[in-house]
Amino acid sequence: MDTVKIQEYRNRLLPLVVGFLLSVVFAGIVYYAGGTSKVYTNLMYIPIALIASIYGWKLGVVIGLFSGLIVGPFMPITVEPRLMQTTENWIVRVLVYIAIAYLIGFVIDISRKRSQEIAFLFTHDSQTGLKNYDALRQELTPPERPTTIISLTVTNYEEYWGFFGYEFFQKIINEFSRRLSEVLLPFHEA
């Protein structure tokens, strides 16, 4: 296996291993604190929230399911005397853990997508998708080879909008930027 695939597997497995280990540690605390009747069961939210907030809802749900199961059918309500949970009790807990993991991960995923969209809007033209002048300047660290920046600005665009109409004017700009990108693509790749 090449190093890229090994790194991909590590990146996928590491959060699961961390989540599983944290869940096992907190389940041990719940057991040694006396069982699921104690407030310590709420510690199980920590690995669920942590993994869901860092890695998204999918891994969060896996950790939520795992956490719910390890404090579920085999974990007593009270350790002394050994009184086991009802099936409904631990099933509801599993479902709550999964729901919390999903909600946290879902909100985090939406937040990340919005942040990426905002970052894109700061560095690209909203209509054409081409990088704006500031983005091109930021990319220009001292280059190894000469670099040329082409910056085009439409002045008096309100007049063109009035003459051609907004939609037609936008079509012209989009078509121009598409053709310009096609013409300049070989130079960009070189």
The pLDDT tens digits of the residues spanning 83-96 come to: 998 999 999 999 99
The stretch 133-148 carries a mean pLDDT of: 71
What pairs with residue 83 in β-bridges?
78
Please state, in angstroms and rounded to a whole number, the distance separating the CA atoms of residues 23 and 119.
35
Domain ranges of the chain: 3-122, 126-189
Q: Which two tokens stand for residue 108?
A: 């985090």
Q: Under a CB-based contact definition with an 8 Å cutoff, are residues 43 and 30 in contact?
A: yes
Per-chain mean pLDDT for the chain: 86
Please state, in angstroms and rounded to a whole number, the distance separating the CA atoms of residues 56 and 50.
10
Distances (CA, A) of 137 to 108, 144, 150, 184, 186: 31, 15, 11, 18, 21
pLDDT digits (tens, 9 = 90+) for 114-129: 999 998 888 888 778 8
Q: How far apart are the first and last CA of the chain?
A: 31
pLDDT digits (tens, 9 = 90+) for 4-63: 777 877 777 888 888 999 999 999 999 999 989 888 999 999 999 999 998 889 999 999
